[in-house]
Amino acid sequence: MPLLPILRFPDPRLRKVATPVAVIDQGIRRLARDMAETMYEAPGIGLAATQVDVHQRLIVIDASEARDQLLTLVNPEIITREGVQVCEEGCLSVPGIYDKVERAEHVVVRYLDLEAREQTIEAAGLLSVCLQHEIDHLEGRVFVEHLSQLKQLRIRNKLAKQARITA
């Protein structure tokens, strides 16, 4: 399975809103496998199809300590949000940048599994944050957009400097 290239902020393709997956076929299953391998190798705990320049509503997540609880969510949507928590977030599309973001403490997400069966998942803590973060990607949003304009400008400048140094 090939590793997929991950788009880097502020790439404009990260702003594209993903379209629903119409049919869960072998192509979607292969994409999910490739995304999971890419996520584990990066290493990260979540990856949205948008981040690999595929603009369909598909995410993979594994927020477990042992890295053995892979979740694959097709067409995920948050149906309830409760409470507030502030957690430090990072992102494979914004390497080396971490900051505190306010999110719902508990969420319930409805999605399809890879067999096209409707599922729901209730999540709190890190898994809740990860679900919200990855679903944001499907809506064309990156976590830094939850930060102040000044912080966003600093992040853009830092990433531009990193790109010049590695070029």
Give me the mean pLDDT over the 61-90 stretch.
Answer: 97
Look at residue 5 and tell me if it is in a domain. no
- Name the residue range of residue 24's domain: 12-166
* Count: domains in the chain: 1
Going by pLDDT thresholds of 50, 70 and 90, the confidence category of residue 1 is low
Q: Is 65 a catalytic residue?
A: no
Q: Express each pLDDT in 10-63 by its tens digit.
A: 899 999 999 999 999 999 999 999 999 999 999 999 999 999 999 999 999 999
Q: What pLDDT, in 10s, does the model give residues 49-67?
A: 999 999 999 999 999 999 9
The residues pairing with 99 across neighbouring beta strands, listed in sequence order, are 89
In a domain, 110, yes or no: yes
- List, in order, residues 6 or more apart from 63 with CB less than 8 Å away: 45, 46, 69, 126, 127, 130
Confirm whether 109 is domain-assigned.
Answer: yes
Distance of CA 140 to the CA centre of its chain: 10
Is residue 2 domain-resident? no
CATH of the domain at 72: 3.90.45.10
Residue of 77, 102, 118, 134 marked catalytic: 134
Q: Per the domain annotation, does 135 fall within a domain?
A: yes
